[in-house]
Chain A
Amino acid sequence: MEKGRTGYFELIVAGRGGQGALTIGRLLADAGMSGYRHVTYFPNYGAAMRGGESECTVILSDQEITGLAMLEPAAVILMGAAPLEEFERRIKPGGLLIFDGSLAAQKVNREDIKVIDLPATRIAAELGDSRAANFVFLGAYLAATGAVLPELCEEVLEKKLRGGKNKTLLSIDKQALREGAKLAGVG
């Protein structure tokens, strides 16, 4: 049994096309395959390849997953300038919001949810590639919830990025994952 695992996790990752919201959602789902009987990964995106709205819902569960999307999620990762108000309102009481406060126009007002404010883009840029910001977010989520071990995500990532050209990217992605976990304050 993994640290903090309770047998059911749900997460919405929202961003803009190109930020990698779907990439980390799918990665979490792939990694979840080894520990959970049931997994759903539902990507919801517009027609635009880049810059358009992009969102995915991941559920990891030991029981049958009846729904596949929810109005009120237990956890949300908001990438970039995704609409904070919309998702802040929807999170379940006691839920988790991970976002980049340095990019958001408003402040979080809810006091009944756990908030992790993470300058993910800046951290990723410092590691060598701002495009790895999504992995900073994922690292923070994994550390805060224990849904799957970061090592499992790294394994999946290594399989996906197998091949010469991506070695630097893989290394930065893995560092970003670790850095996110550290900064979440529980990793």
Chain B
Amino acid sequence: MAERVLIDGNEAIARGAISAGCKHFFGYPITPQNEIPEFMSRELPKIGGVFVQSECEAASVYMVYGGALAGARVMTSTASPGFSLMQEGISYIAEAEVPAVIVNVMRMGPGIGTGGQHGQTDYRQVTKGGGHGAYRCIVLAPYSAQECFDHMQLAFYLADKYRVLVLVLTDFIIGRMAEPVELRTLEFDPLPGKDWALKGKALKDGKRKFFVSAAFNYGGAPPRYYQHMAEVYQKIKDSEIRYEAYREEDATLLVVSYGSSARMAKRAVDMARAEGRRAGLFRPVTLWPFPEEAVQQAACRAGKVLVVEDSPGELVEDVKFAVQGKVPVHLLGIWGRYTPKGGIMTGGSGIIYPENILEEVRGLA
């Protein structure tokens, strides 16, 4: 059996990347993801890898772009404001169709953030794309340290398989919570060779390789680039949707939640069940592609939906779109946080505890 260690989600991300063969990391420090570059800066040189602390996130993302063009497994990690700075580069990587992995350990709020370290307020940006040009990225949302480790291996595999960017979305809670992680190496199907990669000056079939941004390559009217990308995205939708359904077969209330909020919601479902209330949990693991059909089916079976997210309401939009008005969709958002009284303790800005979710569930199931 693989070694079992107590590490936090951030370290699990870093270890997972290394176990996937990532030896190149480019990043810039920002809370709450600093444990990732810290680990990488210490460990990558030991295995012949490269760690670069760039001058800013806009530079990190282009270093990732360059490494990906050379065919290496490369990554960066950041938190919300840094992720915004990367949008231009992300759009370019998407256009060039080179595989890479970017981790966003969210922190709450627009701009510099609003003090509290936890929050899930980047959902819309990460799933819909903050850059220009109608590209798509696969988005994985781990909810445990083990999943952080496993999802990094999956992320590199999916990136290579489809030649897309894979974004791994966590937050302060998932990043800093420590849990036992089994350091297991996951098995995946064989991948095609990276014959497109730019490696030195080697000639291919007697011709010098010349890389041009993908969208220009396709030409045509209507632009064949979009037709090609639509096919790629459809393939991803057909085979890569992942989710977890928990105690939802006979549920009369479907709780939909992801990441750290799903941990709290899962506990709330158990508490509700202990009271005889038939609640179940639906947890999207891929936020894009979003498990639309599965959500709709589970929602219709239950007849009622409660979305729980530590945000003013972003996931709820995807859920409503999936459910198509067939059943009512309620939201327990950031206002559902318990705020401590009589002091500035417990993080000050509050947390959505399982008990707060249970209270909401009681009103609906």
Size bracket, chain A contacts: 20 to 34
Write the chain B residue with the least CB distance to A30.
B6
CB atoms of B354 and A86 under 8 A apart: no
Q: What would be 26 A-B contacts, judged by CB atoms less than 8 Å apart?
A: A26-B178, A29-B6, A29-B178, A40-B177, A41-B179, A42-B173, A44-B346, A45-B347, A55-B347, A66-B266, A66-B269, A67-B268, A68-B173, A68-B260, A68-B263, A69-B173, A70-B355, A71-B354, A71-B355, A82-B343, A82-B345, A85-B341, A85-B342, A85-B343, A86-B340, A86-B346
**CB neighbours of B266 from chain A (8 A):** 66-67
Smallest Cβ-Cβ distance to B353: which chain A residue: A71
Residues of A70-113 at the interface with B, using a CB-CB cut-off of 8 Å, are: 70-72, 82-83, 85-86, 89
- The closest CB in chain B to the CB of A40 belongs to B179
B209 at the interface (CB under 8 A from A): no
Whether B264 is near chain A, meaning CB under 8 Å from some CB there, is yes
Please state if B343 and A68 are interface contacts (CB–CB under 8 Å).
Answer: no
Footprint of B on A, CB under 8 Å?
Answer: 14, 26, 29-30, 33, 37-47, 53, 55, 65-72, 82-83, 85-86, 89
Q: Is the CB–CB distance between A39 and B180 below 8 Å?
A: yes
Other-chain residue from A37, A41, A83 in contact with B343 (beta carbon distance below 8 A): A83
Output the nearest chain A residue to B113 by Cβ-Cβ distance. Answer: A47
* B176 sits at the interface (CB 8 A): yes
Determine if B264 and A69 form an interchain contact, defined as CB atoms under 8 angstroms apart. yes
What string of 1s and 0s marks CB contacts (under 8 Å) between B242-269 and chain A? 0000000000000000001001101111
**Chain A residues near B31 (CB-CB < 8 A):** 47
A41's nearest neighbour on chain B, judged by CB, is B178
Contact yes or no, B6 A39, CB < 8 A: yes
Question: Which residues of B in the span 338-360 have a Cβ within 8 Å of any Cβ on A?
Answer: 338, 340-348, 351, 353-356
User: Given the interface contacts A14-B345, A40-B179, A44-B346, does A72 sit within 8 Å of B263 by beta carbon?
Assistant: no
Cβ-neighbour of A68 out of B180, B264, B338 (below 8 A): B264
Across the two chains, which residue of chain B brings its CB closest to A12?
A: B346
Question: Using Cβ atoms and an 8 Å threshold, which residues of chain A touch B345?
Answer: 14, 53, 55, 82-83, 86
Is B270 at the interface (CB under 8 A from chain A)? yes
Q: Looking across the interface, which residue of chain B has its beta carbon closest to that of A26?
A: B178
Give complex CA distance A70, B266 in Å.
12
Number of residues from B at the complex interface, CB < 8 A: 36
Q: Please, which residues of chain A bring their CB within 8 A of the CB of B117?
A: 44-47
- A67 with B176, Cβ < 8 A, contacts A41-B6, A44-B346 known: no
Asked if A66 and B340 sit within 8 Å, CB to CB, the answer is: no
- CB-CB under 8 A from B263, the residues of chain A are 66-68
Residue of chain A at shortest CB distance from B264: A67
How far does the alpha carbon of A30 sit from the alpha carbon of B6 in the complex, in Å?
A: 7
Residues of B within 8 A of A70 (CB): 267, 353-355
Give every chain B residue within 8 A of A40 (Cβ-Cβ): 177-179
Closest B residue by C-beta to A14: B345
Q: Are A69 and B344 in contact (CB under 8 A)?
A: no
Give the residues in chain A near B356, CB-CB below 8 Å: 71
Give chain A nearest CB distance to B172 CB in angstroms: 8
| Bound CA span A62–B348, Å | 31
Q: How far is the CA of A66 from the CA of B247 in the complex (A)?
A: 13
**Are B342 and A44 within 8 A (Cβ)?**
no
A72–B267 Cα gap in the complex (Å)? 13
| Closest residue on chain A to residue B346 by CB atoms | A55
- Top 4 closest pairs, chain A to chain B, by CB: A67-B267, A83-B343, A71-B353, A71-B355
- By a CB distance below 8 angstroms, the chain A residues around B270 are 66
CB distance from B5 to the nearest CB of A (A): 8
Residues on the B chain within 8 Å of A53, using CB: 343-348
Among B152-203, those with CB < 8 Å from A are: 173, 176-180
Other-chain residue from A14, A42, A47 in contact with B177 (beta carbon distance below 8 A)? A42
Q: Verify B179–A71 contact, CB threshold 8 A.
A: no
Residues of B within 8 A of A39 (CB): 6, 178-180
